[in-house]
Structure 1
Amino acid sequence: MAADEKSMPFLKNLASSDRKIRTSALGTLRTFLSASTTSRALTPLDNLKLWKGLFYSLYMCDRPVPQQNLCADLAALLDVLPDDAVAPWLVGFWDVMGREWTTGIDVLRMEKFLLLVRRVLGRSLVWAHEVPKAKGAKGKKAADARRVALLELFREWPFESTGDLKKMPVGLRLHVLDIWVDEAEKAGMIGEDSTEADAEFLNGIREILQAMIGKTVTPVKPRAKESLADERLPWYEKKEGTEAEDEEMTEDGDSDRDSFGGFDD
C-alpha cells in the first residue's frame, strides 16, 4: 500500500488547523488501523507519513488538557493493531520524532512532545507486559514475541548505540533515559505485579544500555548509567551500611531537633 490521498483520504486532515477536522480524521485513522488486513499492509513509508500527520495534529493542538488527551489518544492507537504491525508502527513514530526533534519543535511546543514520547513509550511497555488473548503455549509464544520485538525496537531506536544524532538527537535520548524506569513501573513490570518474564525483559534493556554506554555520545553515557542504577530495578543492591547509616542520621537528626529549645531571649 502506498500512502496517498486515494488510499488514506484523511491523511491531510490530520494536520488541519481546524480542531474538529483533526478529531474526525483521528477517529477515521483509528478505524482504518483496526482492520488487521489494512494495518498489516502498511509500508514503512505509510507509517512514516501517518506519524508525520499525527505529529502535526499535536503540533496544532492548543491548551494543556486537549494536548494531554491527544497524547493519550495517539499512544492508544497501538491498541488496535495486530501484534505483527506494532513494531513497524512504532518505528514510524521514533523515526518522525528523531527527524523533527531538533528543528521541527520550538521551545513553546516541546513540553507536549515530551509528553507524547512518554505516553507512547509507556503504552509500548504495557503492550509487552500484557498477556495476549491467546492461551496456553500459543499465548506464551505471542508474549515472548512481543518482548523480543520491543527489545529489538529499543536497540535500533531510542537506545541506539552508534551515536547517530540524525536518527536519535541527544535531547530525545536523554528524555527516554529519564523516563523509561518510571514507565516500566507504571506498566507493572516492576513491583508486585511483575513477572519473571518482566524481569527478563528488563534485563534485556539493561544489556542494551550497557552496550550503548561504551559506544554512544558522551552526554548520554552518565544518564544511561544513572538510569541503570535506579533503586526500583530488580538488580539494584543497596550498599552495605547505607541503611544503618541512614537510620543513624535520622535518629541523630531527630535527637538534635528534640534537644533544640530555641534561641535565648
Structure 2
Amino acid sequence: MASDQGNMPFIKHLASSDRKIRTSALSTLRTFLSAPATARKLTDLDYMKLWKGLFYSVWMCDRPIPQQNLCTELAELLSVLPTPNDDEGAAVIPFLRAFWATLSREWTSIDVLRMEKFLLLVRRVFGASLAWVGGGKRGKKDGAWTGTRADSMLRLLQEWPLESKGDLSKVPVGLRLHVIDIWVDETEKLELLDQESEDDSAEDTSGKVQFLDRIREIVEVQTKSTCKPVRMRARESMTDDRLPWNNTASPDREMADDDSDGRGSWDGFKD
C-alpha cells in the first residue's frame, strides 16, 4: 500500500482540536485496522504515520477521564488487528514497533503538564501487548505464553523499550525507566506472578513460568546498563516482593519457622 494520506485520510483528523472529529476518526481507524486485507498490507511507514496521528490525538485530549478512556481505546486497537494462525503478529508487531518508535522520538518534547497521560498510554499499551501474547486479558489461549507470539513480542521489547545493543540513545532514559517501573505491575495483572493457580493446567503454568523468566532475563540486562538511573531502577524492580523468585524463604528462615519448641526465635519479654 502506498504510504500517503490519500489511503488513510482520517489520519489528520486524529489530531484535530475538535473532540468529535477525533472520536469519529478513531472509530474509522478501528474499522480500517480490523480488515485483514487492509491492515496486513500497511507498510512500516504507514504505521508510523498512524501513530503520529494517534500521538497527537492524546496530545490534544483534555481532562483526566477522557484521557484515561482514550489511552484504553488505543491499547485495545491490538485486539482488532488481524492475527491469522499461520502468521501471528503480522500486523500487531509492526503496529507496536511504530508505537515505540514514535514515543521514543517524541518523548523529550512532552511537557510536564502532558506527561502523565503519556505515561498512562505507555502502561496501557505495554499491558495490552503482554495480554496479546497470552490471547487476551486473562491469558487464555492454546499454547499461551509460548510460541510465535511470545518470541516476537520479546524480540520487540529487546529491540525498543528495553534494547541493550546498538544505539542505546534511541530510547530516552525516561521512557526506559517507566517501562522498568511498570513491568511487574502489568505481569501481576495477567496473573503471571501467580504460577500455582488452580484454574491453570500444567501446560499453562509452564508457559507462564517460561514467559516470565524470559522477561526477567531482558530486565536483568538493564541492571548492567551504562546509565546509572536505569541500572539502579532495574535492580530495584528485580527485588519486588511480588516476584515469585523473591518469595522463597531462605534455609535459615525455614529452619526457624519449623522450630516447634520455639527456640529458633525470641520475642522479648512480655508485659
The bucket for the TM-score relative to the shorter chain is 0.7 to 0.9
Distance 2:249 2:237 in 1: 15
Which of the residues 90, 93, 96 maps onto 2:96? 90
- How far apart are residue 28 of structure 1 and its match? 0.2
Corresponding residue for residue 43 of structure 1: 43
Q: Flag the structure with higher helix content.
A: 1
| Structure 1 pair 130–195 and aligned structure 2 pair: CA distance change class (3 A) | farther
Q: Give deviations 1:231-259, integer Å, cap 9, x for gaps.
A: 222322344556869xx9xx969x88xx5
Contact 1:125 1:184 survives alignment (8 Å): yes
The one-letter code of the counterpart of 2:176 is R
Contact 2:134 2:145 survives alignment (8 Å): no
- How far apart are residue 86 of structure 1 and its match? 0.8
Contact 1:126 1:188 survives alignment (8 Å): no
Q: Give deviations 1:53-80, integer Å, cap 9, x for gaps.
A: 0000010000000000000000000001
Distance 1:169 1:238 in 2: 37
> Which residues of 2 match residues 129-168 of structure 1 at below 5 A?
129-130=134-135, 139-140=142-143, 144-162=147-165, 164=167, 166-168=169-171
Q: Give deviations 1:23-52, integer Å, cap 9, x for gaps.
A: 000000000000112111111111111011
Distance 2:120 2:67 in 1: 9
| Structure 1 pair 141–70 and aligned structure 2 pair: CA distance change class (3 A) | closer
Corresponding residue for residue 262 of structure 1: none
Q: Within the alignment, does 1:227 sit opposite 2:233 as a pair?
A: no
Corresponding residue for residue 169 of structure 1: 172
Distance 1:198 1:155 in 2: 19
Distance 1:232 1:88 in 2: 32
Corresponding residue for residue 201 of structure 1: 211
Distance 1:143 1:34 in 2: 25
Contiguous gaps of at least 5 residues in structure 2: 84-89
Q: Give deviations 1:112-161, integer Å, cap 9, x for gaps.
A: 00000000000011111227xxx99xx53995111111100111111111
Corresponding residue for residue 125 of structure 1: 130
SS of corresponding position for 2:191 = coil
- How far apart are residue 228 of structure 1 and its match? 1.8
Please tell me the root mean square deviation across aligned C-alpha atoms, in Å.
2.7
The one-letter code of the counterpart of 2:123 is R
Distance 2:232 2:184 in 1: 16
Distance 1:62 1:163 in 2: 37
| Structure 1 pair 224–152 and aligned structure 2 pair: CA distance change class (3 A) | same
| Structure 1 pair 199–141 and aligned structure 2 pair: CA distance change class (3 A) | closer
Distance 2:96 2:154 in 1: 12
Corresponding residue for residue 189 of structure 2: 186
Distance 1:216 1:154 in 2: 18
The one-letter code of the counterpart of 1:120 is V
TM-score by length of 1: 0.84
SS of corresponding position for 1:62 = coil
Q: Within the alignment, does 1:106 sit opposite 2:116 as a pair?
A: no
The one-letter code of the counterpart of 2:187 is A
Q: Give deviations 1:153-179, integer Å, cap 9, x for gaps.
A: 111111111384542111111111010
Distance 2:99 2:32 in 1: 17
TM-score by length of 2: 0.82
Corresponding residue for residue 17 of structure 1: 17
